Every structure is written in structure tokens, then in C-alpha cells.
Amino acid sequence: MESAELKQFVIDKVEDLKAKDIVVMDVSEKSNIADFMVVCTGNSKTHVKAIAENLVVESKRAGLTILGVEGRESSEWVLVDLGDVIMHVMQDQTRDFYQLEKLWSEKPE
């Protein structure tokens, strides 16, 4: 699956479980580890975990390789690494604190 297709796959799967505030960042010019980052918000620890688990299950069903999953235990911030696309599911307060969108949109001086 190409990067753009994988990105849309991830978006579709997080939308299936009603993730909020989905933001897609093209990081291909800023990173050599991924082409896209998808950031979204879950309402609670349970919701965050469910969104991430749905992506993992559906990815396996589609025959995709999952390079890693981090943060399942606390479920405040769960990262699912699919290679060309990295998905971050966060609770509101965690997302506000880390501000990944701002971090990845800033231009180096």
C-alpha cells in the first residue's frame, strides 16, 4: 500500500470509532522515518485505547505490517507505527500539552 493509500486507511479506521479533531501532517520533507503523521483525540482512556486497537486489528486484517504500538498501558497517548504513517491518538489534555501539530509545523531556523 502506498503512503497516500495508507494515510487514507488510517483516517478511515479512526473515523470508524469517532475520533475527534483528526489532523494529517505531511512530514516527508522533515523526517526520514515517515511520510505522514495522523493525530487525533479520544474522549477518555478507554476511547483512546479502542481507537488504537481498532487500527491495529484492521491493519492486521488488511495484511499491513505494524512496526510498533506504544502507550497502550496508560492510554493517554497511544502511537501506532505503520511505517510510512504514524498515528497518534491522545486525550485532550495530553494533546494540548505536547502540541505535536505545532512542533511539526515549525520551520527550522
Q: What is the pLDDT of residues 24-67, one digit of tens each?
A: 999 998 888 999 999 999 999 999 999 999 999 999 999 999 99
CATH fold of 3-102, please? Beta Polymerase; domain 2 (3.30.460)
pTM to 2 decimals? 0.91
Query: Among the residues of 1-109, which ranges form H helices?
Result: 3-16, 45-61, 92-98, 100-105
What digits encode the pLDDT tens for the residues 69-105?
999 999 999 999 999 999 999 999 999 999 998 888 7
